[in-house]
Copies of this chain bind each other. A is one copy, B any other.
Amino acid sequence: MTNKLYFTSNHTKEEQRAFAAIQKEQSVIGYYALPNQDIGAITSYCATLSTEITTIAVIGIGGSSLGAKAVYEFMKPVQELTRKLYFFESTDPINISDLISKLDLSTTHFLIISKSGTTTETISVYKYLYTLQSDPKVYTFITDPGSPLEKYAHSIKASVLHLPDSVGGRFSVLSSVGLVPLALCGIDIEALLLGAKKIKNSFFNDGYLKETLLKKAVYYAKNHAQYNINCIFAYSETLKYFCQWYVQLWGESLGKHQRHSAFHVGLTPIGLIGPKDQHSFLQLIMEGTRDKSVTFIKIEDFHEDIVIPDITLPHLEMLDTLNNLPFSKLINMQCDSVVEALLDQESIPLDTITLQSVTEDNIGALIFYYELLTSLVGELIDVNTYDQPGVEAGKIILKKKLQQR
């Protein structure tokens, strides 16, 4: 993975301060240690699952599903996976019924994932599934030690796995929350962690990414009032769900009251997919208000070399310049062309990230890169990156409504 910034930022003091804060944070915030974890317990657990199980269904929402989904959907089109993975992430009755109709209950194993163990959506759907399939052997629970859900799981003698200490939901993809469903589908979680470890080492041990990440974070923080919107423009359909994971990570971490002021601050994440969104959102970036930064993500080698054939269509000869071009080249030329066009404009901060290929290693790297960037920006805009107090009010109102009905 490489990252090139097309904007300049020269604030050595802030960079040093942010780096020091993040170094210090490592002892209290759990996600930093995940690339170096021992996955023995996870692989042992996965080996216990019968090969007759062909489908894994995750019952979880937000941080309990978005990370695994991002990696699964990245790898699925390029790799023969050993099991299918479905996600129950809604209380929408149409969605629940539709998903259930796709499952063969006799060959499905369910992962009930909830950090707190009392997530309304997750428990509601679980209760419903339980009426269809009440064998405790087909359920595994992933939750915090001591949660009500763990106690329940023990009461029915179902398997339980834990989240590691101090790992928040949206930073949990490289913990059991993401690794268990992914490993069960045949995704190489060791390679995933290795990719993350490379980024971690590069950042903390003065590697090439340290300066880039610090400059980018300081630029975003310093200019957050003008550039309140941060777009990812990824040139591959495989990164669609990575974008959704990024939206949660960025939005929920950085949209806060400041710790030392009465101000609301926040940076708004947007995920775009190229070339599709050249036909949707690009106009707004190009000619709209100068309130957006854009990070382009490219894949260097798609390992899929289908080529535009060398045929001339009558009346469409002007498009013969496409002939003999591999699609993988075309999509990257499209990306480069848009980058060039935007660089001709004023006041649109751009950078480009290049992944070498569609592998676990690369998505692991990209995930850890964005986690570090989020932590840095959170520190620099003076928010608590790891809580989400704003979602409580709605939950309290719902609880009252439920009691009153």
B-contacting residues of A (Cβ < 8 Å)?
A: 61-63, 66, 77-78, 89-98, 117-118, 120-121, 123-124, 127-128, 130-131, 148-149, 151-152, 155, 169, 228-229, 235-238, 244, 247-248, 251-252, 254-257, 264-268, 270, 273, 275-276, 278-292, 302, 304-309, 311, 313-316, 318-319, 321-323, 325-328, 330-331, 333-334, 336-338, 340-341, 344, 358, 388-391, 393-395, 397-399, 401-403, 405
Q: In the complex, which residues of chain B have a beta carbon less than 8 angstroms from the beta carbon of A66? A: 280
Copies of this chain, tallied across the complex: 2
Q: In the complex, which residues of chain B have a beta carbon less than 8 angstroms from the beta carbon of A291? A: 228, 266, 268
Alpha-carbon separation in the docked complex, A148 to B319 (Å): 11
Q: In the complex, which residues of chain B have a beta carbon less than 8 angstroms from the beta carbon of A306? A: 93, 96-97, 128
Check A61 against B286 for contact (C-beta < 8 Å). no
Measured CB to CB, the closest approach of chain B to A136, in angstroms, equals: 12
Check B390 against A287 for contact (C-beta < 8 Å). yes
- Select A322's contact among B252, B308, B325, B402, beta carbons within 8 Å: B402
- Tell me which of A120, A327, A389 has the highest count of chain B C-beta atoms within 10 A of its own C-beta: A327
Alpha-carbon separation in the docked complex, A354 to B98 (Å): 23
Check A394 against B278 for contact (C-beta < 8 Å). yes
Check A155 against B279 for contact (C-beta < 8 Å). no
Measured CB to CB, the closest approach of chain B to A22, in angstroms, equals: 21
Alpha-carbon separation in the docked complex, A273 to B94 (Å): 14
Alpha-carbon separation in the docked complex, A267 to B288 (Å): 8
Q: In the complex, which residues of chain B have a beta carbon less than 8 angstroms from the beta carbon of A280? A: 62, 66, 244, 247-248, 251-252
Measured CB to CB, the closest approach of chain B to A172, in angstroms, equals: 12
Check A94 against B358 for contact (C-beta < 8 Å). yes
Check B228 against A289 for contact (C-beta < 8 Å). yes
Q: Would you list 23 pairs from A and B whose C-beta atoms are within 8 A, ordered by A residue?
A: A61-B275, A90-B331, A91-B327, A93-B306, A94-B358, A117-B316, A118-B316, A120-B319, A120-B334, A124-B327, A128-B306, A128-B309, A130-B311, A151-B314, A228-B291, A229-B268, A252-B281, A255-B289, A256-B283, A266-B289, A322-B402, A325-B402, A337-B394
Check B393 against A286 for contact (C-beta < 8 Å). yes
Alpha-carbon separation in the docked complex, A108 to B117 (Å): 47
- Tell me which of A155, A286, A292, A401 has the highest count of chain B C-beta atoms within 10 A of its own C-beta: A286
Alpha-carbon separation in the docked complex, A307 to B325 (Å): 54
Alpha-carbon separation in the docked complex, A151 to B313 (Å): 10
Check B391 against A91 for contact (C-beta < 8 Å). no
Check A327 against B92 for contact (C-beta < 8 Å). yes
Q: In the complex, which residues of chain B have a beta carbon less than 8 angstroms from the beta carbon of A149? A: 315-316
Given contacts A123-B322, A131-B311, contact A388 B248 (CB under 8 A): no
Alpha-carbon separation in the docked complex, A117 to B317 (Å): 12
Check A284 against B251 for contact (C-beta < 8 Å). yes
Check A286 against B127 for contact (C-beta < 8 Å). no
